[in-house]
């Protein structure tokens, strides 16, 4: 009796697909000043994958760099997920496969950009920031390089869960400048790491547990330079019921405040649990199938 | 143009210094960059660390200390027009960086230095000295066209000159007035019907957020799109009628 009941619960849990548990939207805008949009965004709901990149480099090289980064990471991971389960451990490193997938493919994007830049003089020196997240098994693995960010709204708390690889962040960390003063710094937008400027890249990756109701925001600095974190947070809080409207509103706020840079956002809302069933349930299921 | 310091005493300008070094020292002894030969000044009184376009003032444990704009301080992130007081002397800090990049081709974000290849934990949190040496201008990869976007914190929302409010016209809260001071104000019942009022530079807009029904303005449904509000418009939402109006 009791066992049947437990099994039913697990079966219901098992049937939740990631598509039904998550909601994703994205928007990108060139802003009010720039003619080019050097940001690139992509998401794939069935894979639980979101990618955002902010390119840099003269003429259209920035667009090329962020475009390569996003397409390499998105298509490669999507392809690899056909044969690899993100929640399983990598035999070699013992890390979640999700972490390995993110690191390998950001590095792959890095070499693609680096080699394109080396072979085409007009692309020389191009590079890009990146923030990519893979949602799986009630968790999210977040990889980032540079100053594109991921924020989390959980209940009333809105905070960044990535730390910029930037001069300003280093200055804040070393206690040279307070967070308050950082707002008036004239050294914004100097990144200490980027994808595609060297033959190797150091990717920072962390895993976070998800809770139902969480809203995640990935954005380029065109948003957080123009809109205070507080205002971004309260906007998400108010509009969490309508994700597309929240995305539109954030971009509008950046543009209303001057829109001096390209602005891109991806929003992900966790509407339910989607844990992969634990070992014994799987065994039981396969036993039933036989 | 690099930032400058103007030294004066009793309103008389004595000398002008350009902050073109990573570290500029102020003190009584002749080896300082800015020498003030007065007994109230310590032999090494203070230093100014300049990193690209930002300068930081630091007290070097001087006997008589420092004040910036009338407040005693040990360490200060200098802002344009700050007045540093050392004894009877005053140093005015001037940093009039151009407000915007001169050309649209200029890039906003640039890479400071080549990435650290090793991923040891220490590489991340560099200490004060490392940060300084790391950012010597020579280290900046010249690959990216460096447009210094000098505009100070544009994050302050553009001001809307008009103040507006909504007043509830029916139900138990009839007569209540809600001033629209924030950039966003939500109205309605979560889970039933919610709309948001957005304050933008060119006016106020109402947009549907959730619920099966759209808000009504002057008896007509707004649909999903934002709808700009005019003075004395009547909003209807979840059975509650409200009047929108501008305040004098």
What is the DSSP-derived secondary structure letter of residue B75? Answer: E
Identify the residue with better confidence: B144 or A135. A135
Q: What pLDDT is recorded for position B105?
A: 39
pLDDT band at residue A13 using 50, 70 and 90 as cut-offs: very low
* Lowest-pLDDT range of A121-125, A247-251, A280-284, B169-173: A280-284
Q: Whole-number mean pLDDT of chain A?
A: 89
Q: Do residues A238 and A250 lie in contact, with contact meaning Cβ atoms separated by under 8 Å?
A: no
Closest C-alpha among A82, A88, A54, A84 to residue A69: A54
Chain A, chain B: beta-carbon pairs less than 8 Å apart: 176
* Lowest-pLDDT range of A139-143, B100-104, B169-173: B100-104
Q: Which of A6-15, A63-72, B120-129, B139-148 has the highest mean pLDDT?
A: A63-72
Q: Per residue, what are the HEC states of chain A?
A: CHHHHHHHHHHHHHCCCHHHHEEEEEEEECCCCCCCCCEEEEEECCCCEEEEEEEECCCCHHHHHHHHHHHHHHHHHHHHCCCCCCCCECCCCCCEHHHHHHHHHHHHHHHHHHHHHHHCHHHCCCEEEEEEEEEECCEEEEEEECCCEEEEEECCEEEECCCCCEHHHHHHHCCCCCHHHHCCCCCCCEECCCECCCCCCCCEEEEEECCCCCEEEEECHHHHCCCCHHHHHHHHHHHCCCHHHHHHHHHHHHHHCCCCCCEEEEEEEECCCCCCCCHHHHHHHHHHHC
What is the DSSP-derived secondary structure letter of residue B146? Answer: B
Q: What pLDDT is recorded for position A212?
A: 95
The answer to whether the CB atoms of A234 and B184 lie below 8 A apart is yes
pLDDT digits (tens, 9 = 90+) for B84-114: 999 899 999 998 765 444 443 344 666 765 4
Closest C-alpha among B45, B22, B232, B24 to residue B130: B22
Chain B residues with CB-CB distance to A54 below 8 A = 109
Q: Do residues B85 and B40 lie in contact, with contact meaning Cβ atoms separated by under 8 Å?
A: no
Asked if the C-beta of A200 comes within 8 angstroms of chain B's C-beta atoms, the answer is yes
Q: Is residue A4 predicted with pLDDT exceeding 70?
A: no
Q: State what percent of residues in chain B have pLDDT above 90.
A: 46
pLDDT digits (tens, 9 = 90+) for A195-228: 999 999 999 999 999 999 999 999 999 999 999 9
Q: Is residue A234 predicted with pLDDT exceeding 50?
A: yes
Residue showing tokens 């939402």 = B237
DSSP string, B5-56: EEEEETTEEEEEEE--SSEEEEESSTTSSEE---TTS-TT-EEEEEETTEEE
Asked if the C-beta of A175 comes within 8 angstroms of chain B's C-beta atoms, the answer is yes
Identity of the residue in B114, B134, B200 whose CB atom sits nearest the CB atom of A197: B114
Q: State what percent of residues in chain A have pLDDT above 90.
A: 71
Q: Is residue B152 predicted with pLDDT exceeding 60?
A: no
Task: Give the integer Cα–Cα distance in Å for A231 and A93.
Answer: 41
A residues 65-124 closer than 8 Å to B (CB): 124
Task: Give the integer Cα–Cα distance in Å for A275 and B235.
Answer: 44
Closest C-alpha among A54, A190, A218, A205 to residue A139: A205
Angle at B225 between CA B222 and CA B229, to 5 degrees: 60
Q: Is residue A35 predicted with pLDDT exceeding 90?
A: no
List residues bridging with A263 in a β-sheet: A29
Identify the residue with better confidence: A207 or B143. A207
List residues bridging with A22 in a β-sheet: A270
Angle at A39 between CA A201 and CA A47, to 5 degrees: 75
Q: Is residue A36 predicted with pLDDT exceeding 60?
A: yes
pLDDT band at residue B154 using 50, 70 and 90 as cut-offs: very low
Identity of the residue in A124, A170, A245 whose CB atom sits nearest the CB atom of B207: A245
pLDDT digits (tens, 9 = 90+) for B34-71: 999 999 999 999 999 888 888 899 999 999 999 999 99
Contacts of B208 (CB under 8 A, 6+ apart): A242, A245, B195, B214, B215, B222, B223, B224
The answer to whether the CB atoms of A201 and B112 lie below 8 A apart is no
Q: What pLDDT is recorded for position A281?
A: 61
Chain B residues with CB-CB distance to A185 below 8 A = 54, 77
Q: At what angle are helices A61-80 and A97-119 packed, to 10 degrees?
A: 150
Q: Which SS3 state, helix, strand or coil, does residue B161 take?
A: coil
Q: Is residue B208 predicted with pLDDT exceeding 90?
A: yes
pLDDT digits (tens, 9 = 90+) for A145-182: 999 999 999 999 999 999 999 989 988 888 888 888 88
The answer to whether the CB atoms of A62 and B52 lie below 8 A apart is no
- Asked whether the CA dihedral B18, B21, B25, B29 is positive or negative, the reply is negative
List residues bridging with B17 in a β-sheet: B5
Q: What pLDDT is recorded for position B107?
A: 44
Q: Do residues B215 and B238 lie in contact, with contact meaning Cβ atoms separated by under 8 Å?
A: no
Task: Give the integer Cα–Cα distance in Å for B248 and B229.
Answer: 16
End-to-end alpha carbon distance in chain A: 22
List residues bridging with B189 in a β-sheet: B193
Q: What pLDDT is recorded for position A6?
A: 45
Identity of the residue in B52, B77, B210 whose CB atom sits nearest the CB atom of A242: B210
Q: State what percent of residues in chain A have pLDDT above 70.
A: 90
Chain B residues with CB-CB distance to A56 below 8 A = 107-111, 144
Q: What pLDDT is recorded for position A279?
A: 62
Q: Do residues A266 and A50 lie in contact, with contact meaning Cβ atoms separated by under 8 Å?
A: yes
How confident is the model over A255-273, as a mean pLDDT? 94
pLDDT digits (tens, 9 = 90+) for B117-135: 433 333 333 333 333 333 3
Task: Give the integer Cα–Cα distance in Å for A111 and A129.
Answer: 14
Residue B17's Cβ-side half-sphere holds a number of Cα atoms within 13 Å equal to 22
């Amino acid at each position: 009796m009791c066992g049947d009941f437990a099994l039913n619960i697990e079966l219901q849990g098992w049937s939740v697909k990631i598509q039904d548990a998550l909601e994703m939207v994205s928007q990108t805008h060139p802003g009010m000043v720039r003619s080019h949009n050097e940001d690139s965004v992509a998401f794939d709901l069935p894979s639980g994958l979101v990618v955002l990149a902010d390119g840099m480099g003269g003429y259209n090289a920035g667009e090329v760099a962020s475009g390569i980064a996003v397409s390499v990471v998105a298509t490669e991971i999507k392809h690899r997920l056909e044969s690899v389960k993100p929640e399983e451990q990598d035999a070699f490193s013992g890390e979640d496969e999700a972490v390995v997938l993110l690191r390998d493919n950001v590095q792959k994007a890095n070499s693609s950009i680096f080699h394109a830049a080396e072979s085409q003089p007009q692309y020389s020196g191009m590079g890009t920031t990146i923030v990519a997240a893979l949602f799986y098994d009630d968790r999210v693995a977040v990889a980032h390089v540079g100053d594109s960010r991921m924020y989390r709204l959980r209940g009333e708390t809105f905070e960044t869960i990535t730390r910029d690889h930037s001069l300003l962040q280093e200055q804040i960390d070393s206690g040279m400048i307070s967070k308050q003063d950082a707002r008036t710094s004239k050294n914004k937008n100097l990144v200490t790491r980027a994808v595609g400027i060297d033959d190797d890249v150091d990717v920072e990756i962390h895993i976070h547990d998800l809770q139902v109701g969480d809203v995640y925001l990935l954005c380029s600095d065109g948003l957080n330079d123009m809109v205070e974190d507080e205002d971004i947070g309260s906007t998400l809080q108010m509009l969490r019921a309508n994700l597309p409207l929240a995305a539109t509103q954030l971009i509008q706020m950046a543009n209303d405040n001057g829109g001096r840079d390209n602005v891109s956002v991806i929003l992900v809302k966790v509407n339910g649990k989607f844990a992969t069933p634990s070992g014994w349930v799987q065994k039981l299921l396969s036993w039933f199938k036989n | 143009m690099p930032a400058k310091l103007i030294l004066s005493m009793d309103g008389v300008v004595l000398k002008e210094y350009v902050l073109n070094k990573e570290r500029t020292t102020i003190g009584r002894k002749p080896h300082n960059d800015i020498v003030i030969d007065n007994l109230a000044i310590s032999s090494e009184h203070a230093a100014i660390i300049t990193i690209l376009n930002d300068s930081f003032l630091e007290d070097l444990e001087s006997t008589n200390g420092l004040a910036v704009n009338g407040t005693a301080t040990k360490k200060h992130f200098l802002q344009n027009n700050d007045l540093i007081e050392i004894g009877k002397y005053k140093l005015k800090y001037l940093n009039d960086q151009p407000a915007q990049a001169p050309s649209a081709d200029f890039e906003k974000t640039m890479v400071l230095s080549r990435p650290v290849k090793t991923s040891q934990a220490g590489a991340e949190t560099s200490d004060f000295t490392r940060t300084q040496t790391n950012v010597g201008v020579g280290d900046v990869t010249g690959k990216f066209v460096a447009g210094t976007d000098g505009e100070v914190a544009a994050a302050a929302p553009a001001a809307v000159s008009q103040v507006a409010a909504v007043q509830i016209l029916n139900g138990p809260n009839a007569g209540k007035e809600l001033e629209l001071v924030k950039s966003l104000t939500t109205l309605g019942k979560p889970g039933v019907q919610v709309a948001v009022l957005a304050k933008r530079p060119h006016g106020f807009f109402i947009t549907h957020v959730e619920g099966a029904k759209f808000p009504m303005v002057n008896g007509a449904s707004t649909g999903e799109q934002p709808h700009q509000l005019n003075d004395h418009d009547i909003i209807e939402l979840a059975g509650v009628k409200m009047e929108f109006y501008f305040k004098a």
